[in-house]
């Protein structure tokens, strides 16, 4: 009986840890070592992202970069993936931190139909 209690306690601790780890991963903002923060947000036309540098809004992207029109990203995940790409370019001092259609394609970003 004691072994069963110990096993149950260990499993409970692991389950609680997994839930807490998932909650941490699901946060909408991630702060990099360089002081940049990416925040995906929902718009009327899909999803976009903001990039903050040392707490001040640096980029406000409501549409898919390098695509004509006003369509936003199809998902929060797509917005975060492209936002991460832009954050990386800024950290590497690639200015302007443009995103090409080829980069969108290589990242598997869902594009609006023409």
* pLDDT of 23: 37
All residues at 6 or more sequence positions from 51 whose CB lies less than 8 Å from its CB, including other chains: 36, 37, 38, 39, 57, 58, 59, 61, 83, 86, 87, 90
Measured CA to CA, the distance from residue 63 to residue 109 in angstroms comes to 13
For 60, the 3-state DSSP assignment is: strand
| Helix/strand/coil percent split, the chain, to 5 | 40, 20, 40
Residue spans of the domains in the chain: they are 30-106
Distance, CA of 79 to CA of 74 (rounded, Å): 8
Angle at 30 between CA 27 and CA 32, to 5 degrees: 160
Q: What's the pLDDT at 30?
A: 57
| Encoded tokens for 87 | 């954050």
State residue 61's pLDDT score.
Answer: 98
Q: Which two tokens stand for residue 86?
A: 């832009």
- pLDDT by position in tens, the chain (length 114): 777 665 555 654 665 655 444 433 444 555 566 789 999 999 999 999 999 999 999 999 999 999 999 999 999 999 999 999 999 999 999 999 999 999 999 999 998 876
């Amino acid at each position: 009986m004691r072994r069963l209690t110990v096993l149950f306690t260990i499993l409970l601790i692991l389950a609680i840890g997994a839930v807490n780890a998932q909650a941490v991963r699901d946060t909408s903002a991630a702060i990099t070592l360089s002081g940049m923060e990416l925040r995906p947000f929902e718009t009327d036309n899909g999803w976009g992202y903001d990039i903050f540098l040392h707490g001040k809004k640096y980029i406000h992207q409501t549409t898919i970069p390098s695509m004509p029109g006003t369509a936003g990203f199809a998902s929060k995940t797509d917005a975060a993936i492209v936002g991460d790409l832009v954050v990386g370019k800024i950290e590497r001092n690639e200015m302007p931190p443009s995103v090409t259609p080829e980069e969108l394609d290589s990242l598997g970003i869902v594009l609006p139909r023409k």
